[in-house]
């Protein structure tokens, strides 16, 4: 039979992630899709504590600040367009007042700090090797500082450059060495986002992704027992090489493609128990999000009681799994 796709062989799996183990995910919007899939499956994973970040230097700065830095203060935010922003954070943190944005930023920081001693897995998704650096101090910050988000500031505020694999390694090598020292059993899984950055041009995007792929490969070679690579980029561009697997913008993966890549990732990354429990947790979360037409009806009350029993059964089968965002009536 004629093959209509190019199968991608996955590399050897790293030590498997299971229920009860703490994981952190940083990176592009693609990392949010994978992270949400794992989180809904009962895994203890926190996704993008700074919001979406695209380049490896911003991701590195975010990891360092969370693991070894101090809480944020007013010197690290600025006002533009009626909102306060942070150069390290996504626009989803931006707020009308300085107090509000600091409360959001430090709320996430303080919530994650108690979990960090138990950190076992770190997932990073690189989106682009292009970075924006501050060209002046008009909005605070330090000249040359790499920003995670430009927050629609004037173009004159920044310089733009594509980082070479060597330049990325110069930042990440000491970072991984410090992580290995403080977290000897840490597993770092890298992936490159398959989302094309066409504003860089087709050729510019190809060069950018090539730098990321070479950088990720070099990091795996330097730290073979700590750093691993999952080929989400290759899966979408080769195994799912068809526009039916793309959203309407023909750039982002469709929900179907996101699920297919997430399923491959789960089979590669999770231990046997988590792979068995993951679809059960997904079904429970889908039912919990269902909004009935008649919440006051007897049928809905009976369905909720049956759902409560199924949640209790799941908890007894997988005591280390974590169902997230449960309504108060469950407990």
Quickly tell me which residue has 């027992």 as its tokens: 225
**Per-residue pLDDT, 241:** 83
Tell me the pLDDT of the chain (331 aa) as tens digits.
556 678 889 999 999 999 999 999 999 988 899 999 999 999 999 999 999 999 999 999 999 999 999 999 999 999 999 999 999 999 999 999 999 999 999 999 999 999 999 999 999 999 999 999 999 999 999 999 999 999 999 999 999 999 999 999 999 999 999 999 999 999 999 999 999 998 899 999 999 999 999 999 999 999 999 999 999 999 998 888 887 888 888 888 899 999 999 999 999 999 999 999 999 999 999 988 877 777 778 887 888 889 999 999 999 999 999 998 777 666 6
The number of angstroms, rounded, from the C-alpha of 319 to the middle of its chain's C-alpha atoms is 25
**Per-residue pLDDT, 6:** 80
Report how far residue 230's alpha carbon sits from residue 13's, in angstroms, rounded to the nearest whole number: 9
Quickly tell me which residue has 């909004």 as its tokens: 291
Report how far residue 183's alpha carbon sits from residue 131's, in angstroms, rounded to the nearest whole number: 28
The number of angstroms, rounded, from the C-alpha of 114 to the middle of its chain's C-alpha atoms is 20
Report how far residue 287's alpha carbon sits from residue 306's, in angstroms, rounded to the nearest whole number: 11
**Per-residue pLDDT, 328:** 67
What is the set of domains in the chain, with CATH numbers? Answer: 22-270 (3.40.50), 272-331 (no CATH)
Element at 133 (helix H, strand E): strand 130-134
**Per-residue pLDDT, 128:** 97
**Per-residue pLDDT, 30:** 81
Write phi, then psi, for 314 (nearest 5 degrees). -60, -45
196, 252 in Cβ contact below 8 A?
Answer: no
Helix (H) and strand (E) counts in the chain = 9, 10
Residue 232, CB-side half-sphere exposure with 13 Å CA sphere: 34
**Per-residue pLDDT, 40:** 96
Spell out the alpha helix ranges (H) of the chain: 29-40, 56-68, 98-112, 165-182, 202-222, 232-234, 255-269, 272-289, 298-317
Quickly tell me which residue has 């023909």 as its tokens: 250
């Amino acid at each position: 039979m004629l093959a209509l796709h190019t199968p991608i062989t996955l590399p050897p799996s790293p030590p498997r992630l299971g229920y009860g183990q703490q994981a952190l995910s940083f990176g592009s919007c693609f990392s949010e899709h994978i992270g949400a899939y794992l989180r809904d499956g009962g895994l203890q994973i926190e996704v993008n504590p700074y919001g979406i970040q695209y380049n490896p230097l911003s991701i590195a700065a975010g990891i360092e600040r969370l693991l070894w830095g101090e809480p944020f203060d007013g010197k690290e935010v600025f006002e533009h367009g009626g909102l306060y922003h942070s150069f390290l954070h996504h626009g989803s943190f931006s707020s009308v007042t300085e107090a509000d944005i600091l409360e959001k930023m430090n709320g996430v920081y303080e919530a994650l700090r108690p979990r960090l001693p138990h950190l076992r897995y770190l997932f990073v998704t690189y989106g682009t090797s292009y970075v924006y650096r501050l060209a002046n101090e008009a909005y605070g910050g330090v000249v040359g500082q790499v920003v995670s988000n430009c927050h629609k500031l004037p173009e004159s505020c920044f310089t733009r450059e594509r980082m070479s694999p060597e330049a990325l390694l110069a930042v990440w090598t000491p970072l991984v060495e410090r992580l290995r020292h403080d977290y000897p059993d840490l597993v770092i899984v890298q992936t490159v986002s398959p989302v094309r950055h066409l504003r860089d041009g087709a050729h510019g995007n190809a060069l950018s992704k090539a730098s990321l792929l070479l950088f990720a490969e070099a990091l795996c070679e330097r730290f073979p027992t700590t750093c691993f690579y999952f080929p989400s980029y290759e899966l979408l561009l080769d195994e799912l090489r068809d526009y039916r697997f793309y959203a309407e913008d023909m750039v982002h993966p469709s929900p179907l493609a996101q699920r297919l890549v997430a399923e491959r990732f789960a089979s590669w990354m999770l231990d046997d128990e988590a792979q068995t429990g993951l679809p059960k947790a997904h079904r429970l979360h889908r039912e919990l999000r269902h909004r009935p037409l008649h919440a006051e009806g007897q049928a809905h009350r009976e369905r909720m009681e049956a759902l409560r029993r199924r949640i209790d059964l799941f908890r007894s089968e997988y005591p280390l799994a974590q169902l997230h965002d449960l309504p108060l009536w469950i407990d």
